[in-house]
Amino acid sequence: MLPLALAGPFDRTWQPPPSWPRIMNVAQEFEPLYRAVQALNLGPDREGAALVTITRTRGSTFRRAGASMLVLPDGHMVCELSGGCPQRDIALRARRVIAHGQPALVEYGRHANLDVMLETGCGGELEVLIEPLREPADLDFLESVAHMHARRVAGAMATVYAVDGQILAPRPLRLLHGDGIHWSNIEDASFRDRIASELSQTLAPPTSAAVTRHVAMNGKRYDILVESQPPLHALVIVGDGASARSLAELSVRLGWQTTRVDYTHETTDVADGIRLINASPRALAAQVPLDSATSAVVMTHRLERDLAYLEALLATPVGYLGVIGSRQRTARVREAFPDTQMRLHAPAGLDVGSETPHEIALAVAAEILAVRNGRDGGPLSHSQTPIHP
């Protein structure tokens, strides 16, 4: 096992190229899966669990490569992949993997288990890796991913799961790279360097899913799943009203790192996954993450205060910036910042006729999600683009 800081030619400050494939098991899905894994009682004579990962897809499928699900011995699933027949069949196979302690690689498509895919009506094909989690060492790569998320750095992970068409046992080989974070359980230095080289290349267009690549080395062909590991999406809400509280609650349910700035609250607190702070506009950047993976919504219901927070937030690289208010009020906001028309969402939210605090929260969260995924937020029935980003 190699530590977080690795020695070798790839031990340097590393940044993923701009066209890294997007991980389809979006970052916010990692947290509930990781919490469930932390609760496992692993070790000799323990049942453990199974981690299911989609390694490749073709055509229309319920999820894309990179999506993962945890299956417990009783059949309980965390981060379910879908509600259809493939998931039920996958869960049954995962319980066998748990019982026998041996990984499995399962195809669903023309060459195997076609009947299961036909029942879903999707018409696609996929391959899934099912690996047992029995020993504490099986979780080391997840600990490293969690460390990367805690530091809010971007990276990528390579999972070597098959050689010459045969699954690797007892566990896959992995290599994880981020800015200052390097971890691997690949002991062969030359092979590790080769996998690191694969990670450092531009592998796919930015709209592509995680991808499986084939690497030839020493007369063998290895199957490697390459996934980006983006920072967790964070939402900063400035406001103390009912809509602000509803948006914070919804944000937590979406798996976003959630901070609510309450200028009437004097102490820092965390309740139900929401971090509550008191921060002036000037002090905001020092207390919360305001990077490109952060969205911010200002909803204080006081124009002067909104303008002060917006001015501070406009000086940061937040990926989404919105403000709540009537047409007349937001027109005054736009007048105050005439050079930010393309960046400022005023009024924030999709036009769904929202009125109650919960409906407003839903409209705002939906717009944030659409902006992050490069979508216009229109009806799916009117769109011809793929449903999955």
pTM of the model: 0.79
Per-residue pLDDT of the chain (389 residues; tens, 9 = 90+): 444 444 333 333 334 333 333 333 456 788 889 999 999 988 887 889 999 999 988 877 777 888 899 999 999 999 988 756 688 889 999 999 999 999 999 988 776 555 555 455 556 788 999 999 999 999 999 999 999 888 888 888 999 999 999 999 999 999 998 888 889 999 999 999 999 888 876 444 343 458 888 999 989 999 999 988 888 899 999 999 999 999 999 999 998 999 999 887 777 777 888 999 999 999 999 999 899 999 999 999 899 999 999 999 999 999 999 999 888 998 999 999 988 778 999 999 999 999 999 999 999 999 999 999 888 888 877 776 766 55
Structural domain boundaries in the chain: 27-229, 234-372
Question: What is the predicted pLDDT for the residue at 365?
Answer: 97
> Is it true that the peptide bond before 132 is cis, omega within 30 degrees of 0?
no
The answer as to CATH 3.90.79.10 being correct for domain 234-372 is no
Cα separation of 130 and 139, whole Å?
14
Q: What is the pLDDT of residues 48-72, one digit of tens each?
A: 999 999 998 887 777 788 889 999 9
Q: How many residues does the chain have?
A: 389
- DSSP-derived letter for residue 268 is -
Tell me how far apart the 2 most distant CA atoms of the chain are, in Å: 69
Question: What is the predicted pLDDT for the residue at 181?
Answer: 82
Beta bridge partners of 77: 71
Distances (CA, A) of 64 to 21, 25, 55, 120, 173: 12, 8, 8, 15, 21
**Pair of tokens at residue 56:** 């490749």
Distances (CA, A) of 148 to 30, 131, 136, 176, 234: 12, 22, 19, 10, 14
Cα separation of 316 and 297, whole Å?
13
Question: What is the predicted pLDDT for the residue at 382?
Answer: 76
Q: What is the pLDDT of residues 100-135, one digit of tens each?
A: 999 999 988 776 555 555 455 556 788 999 999 999
